[in-house]
Chain A
């Protein structure tokens, strides 16, 4: 478990948070810019020395009644937003900086294996100056991991990268963060990154935690902060279907539900193998409801569903509705007018029209 109750006052900002998340997996810290995500991460790392409260990470007390553990004794790996390699050291020296300072190497991480899986073996003798942004971040990640951290903190590691290297590093992280046995805090303001990487979610607004828990619970809470925001979305898992229609990718989500999306493979150059597991992100505002099945529509995905929950209150003229389709949950956001006009209620059978699905 990672349990945190942290307070920090800055001249123009106040952080006051309390949450607990499992001591493994990826916890996304999500919220708009300026909500205190980075400050929270720095407080956890011990870089904000005026932080008060308590913090324990898998049984180790980092902050509390017994005092404050210094940054260098927390064993926390940090990947900052802007690449932060030591310019006077080669890539290899950077990678080993923390490892050399371990009193004993407890987990024999295979250094070469890690270097290979981060695809940085060709860079070892170079200095950071000539590396691309993506390469720098991969080296920074390797450097943090080789120091055998108890907790890995990543502060928007993709935000300083261009679109291309962002996509690449993202798929690498997706594979990588699931494999390593270290809890990860991942700060981001991108719902795509949350949907792709996170197991748990901590929602932050104005220096306070508005919601936290397993991603499906936080994302699926109809009255939650996330659902009220423009970024409300659902994550549905499935597999690439065995039979495909021309120009479409079909994803089998189980129980006879197949979602179709335009095949952008020619653009991305990725081909999907039938049977491989994928995650789909569907924005709540891209889902609308019909009481009868529409015919001859350009919308690819029209599926029968049952209303499982309605938000207690409309918010800004819209209301969030949770649908159930064969055991999967899907949020949709529709106008309060439609809710009243169609007399929507829990248990009602409807058709969900999904305007757009993205494969993440």
Chain B
């Protein structure tokens, strides 16, 4: 079964994924809303930046983050000036890295969801006296439930499986920054296939269940809409 360090890795992974997802949902909402509604020329550029983690090797992202975290880097200098501990090899460093790494997985479903609302429902709400924030909360949000579910699940699941970024900026400190994917790698390196199996199969099953959940919810949602 799970050893003490494996269990710690599991907890850190879940905490990391949950924290990252929450932060991304909060920050992703205004960003996705802007992308779905703006006519600005900047939109394409911003969309491309957000999509970068989809194509970049995670090590590239991790490498630049590591440089930024160093005492001379912009983030490292800021944290030092504020008297905060360095982000490198820390849990919050991992959160930042994961947030960037999983950003497209949260922003894109939200953006699609907002875009598919169309403008009519919001226009109707405006004519009925609802101000912009009120329109968002009373109309856009409830109609984007599926988008939020998809974004949350994808963001969470994608953070669970992260490896390259974590390895670059978090290192492999058991109980602090060691996550499941790295624990699996360690077990394989040490030829502990049995323990690697427990973690790997667990992650596989977990990811499958999570995805099954969105697809079946999605299907039910579409059936609801069409009947």
A98 at the interface (CB under 8 A from B): yes
Task: Kindly identify which residue among B126, B134, B142, B225 contacts A47, using a CB–CB cutoff of 8 Å.
Answer: B126
Provide the bound-state CA to CA distance between A102 and B139, in Å. Answer: 17
Task: Kindly identify which residue among A72, A75, A88, A97 contacts B131, using a CB–CB cutoff of 8 Å.
Answer: A72
Contacts of A84 in B (CB 8 A): 120-121, 124
A87 close to B143 (CB less than 8 A): yes
How many residue pairs between the two chains, A and B, have CB atoms under 8 Å in the bound complex?
A: 60
Contact with A along B138-167 (1 / 0, CB 8 A): 110011000000000000000000000000
A98 close to B126 (CB less than 8 A): no
Contact with B along A55-90 (1 / 0, CB 8 A): 000000000000000111111111010101011100
A101 close to B127 (CB less than 8 A): no
Contacts of B124 in A (CB 8 A): 78, 80, 84, 86
Dominant SS among interface residues on chain B: helix
A102 close to B129 (CB less than 8 A): yes
A144 touching B127 in the complex, CB below 8 Å, given contacts A88-B142, A101-B134 = yes
B123 at the interface (CB under 8 A from A): yes
Closest-CB distance, A160 to chain B (whole angstroms): 13
B128 at the interface (CB under 8 A from A): yes
Task: Kindly identify which residue among A45, A71, A80 contacts B120, using a CB–CB cutoff of 8 Å.
Answer: A80
Contact with A along B65-92 (1 / 0, CB 8 A): 0000000000000000000000000000
A72 close to B127 (CB less than 8 A): yes
A72 close to B227 (CB less than 8 A): no
A147 touching B128 in the complex, CB below 8 Å, given contacts A86-B139, A88-B142, A129-B227 = yes
Contacts of B224 in A (CB 8 A): 129
Provide the bound-state CA to CA distance between A77 and B127, in Å. Answer: 6
Contacts of A76 in B (CB 8 A): 127
Provide the bound-state CA to CA distance between A72 and B134, in Å. Answer: 11
A45 close to B127 (CB less than 8 A): yes
Q: How many residues of B contact A (CB 8 A)?
A: 19
Closest-CB distance, A308 to chain B (whole angstroms): 44
A143 at the interface (CB under 8 A from B): yes
Provide the bound-state CA to CA distance between A101 and B225, in Å. Answer: 28
In the complex, the chain A residue whose C-beta lies closest to that of B128 is A98
Contacts of A102 in B (CB 8 A): 129
Considering only residues 107-144 of chain B, those with a C-beta below 8 Å from chain A are 120-121, 123-131, 134, 138-139, 142-143
B129 close to A86 (CB less than 8 A): no
Provide the bound-state CA to CA distance between A147 and B142, in Å. Answer: 22
A86 touching B127 in the complex, CB below 8 Å, given contacts A101-B134, A129-B227 = no
Closest-CB distance, B122 to chain A (whole angstroms): 10
B121 close to A98 (CB less than 8 A): no
A71 close to B123 (CB less than 8 A): yes
Closest-CB distance, A96 to chain B (whole angstroms): 10
Provide the bound-state CA to CA distance between A84 and B123, in Å. Answer: 10
A75 close to B129 (CB less than 8 A): yes
Considering only residues 79-116 of chain A, those with a C-beta below 8 Å from chain B are 80, 82, 84, 86-88, 97-98, 101-102
B125 close to A78 (CB less than 8 A): no
Closest-CB distance, B144 to chain A (whole angstroms): 10
Closest-CB distance, A111 to chain B (whole angstroms): 15
In the complex, the chain A residue whose C-beta lies closest to that of B132 is A72
In the complex, the chain A residue whose C-beta lies closest to that of B118 is A84
B123 close to A97 (CB less than 8 A): no
Contacts of A82 in B (CB 8 A): 120
Contacts of A74 in B (CB 8 A): 127
Provide the bound-state CA to CA distance between A47 and B227, in Å. Answer: 31
Contacts of A129 in B (CB 8 A): 224-225, 227
Contacts of A86 in B (CB 8 A): 121, 124-125, 139, 143
B142 close to A143 (CB less than 8 A): no
Provide the bound-state CA to CA distance between A82 and B124, in Å. Answer: 12
Closest-CB distance, B221 to chain A (whole angstroms): 11
In the complex, the chain B residue whose C-beta lies closest to that of A153 is B127
Provide the bound-state CA to CA distance between A82 and B118, in Å. Answer: 13
Provide the bound-state CA to CA distance between A76 and B127, in Å. Answer: 6
Residue from B121, B125, B126, B224 with most neighbouring chain A CB atoms (10 Å)? B126
A72 touching B143 in the complex, CB below 8 Å, given contacts A47-B123, A80-B124, A84-B121 = no
Contacts of B142 in A (CB 8 A): 88
A143 close to B121 (CB less than 8 A): no
Provide the bound-state CA to CA distance between A80 and B126, in Å. Answer: 13
Closest-CB distance, A81 to chain B (whole angstroms): 10
Closest-CB distance, B224 to chain A (whole angstroms): 8
B227 close to A101 (CB less than 8 A): no
In the complex, the chain A residue whose C-beta lies closest to that of B224 is A129
Considering only residues 224-280 of chain A, those with a C-beta below 8 Å from chain B are none
Task: Kindly identify which residue among A45, A70, A97 contacts B125, using a CB–CB cutoff of 8 Å.
Answer: A97
Contact with A along B2-45 (1 / 0, CB 8 A): 00000000000000000000000000000000000000000000
Given contacts A72-B131, A88-B142, A143-B128, 4 further A-B contacts (CB under 8 A): A78-B123, A86-B124, A86-B143, A88-B143
The 10 closest A-B pairs by CB, nearest first: A98-B128, A101-B129, A71-B126, A88-B142, A78-B127, A84-B124, A72-B126, A72-B129, A147-B128, A84-B120
11 residue pairs A–B, Cβ–Cβ below 8 Å: A72-B129, A72-B131, A75-B129, A84-B120, A84-B121, A86-B143, A97-B130, A98-B127, A102-B129, A129-B224, A129-B227
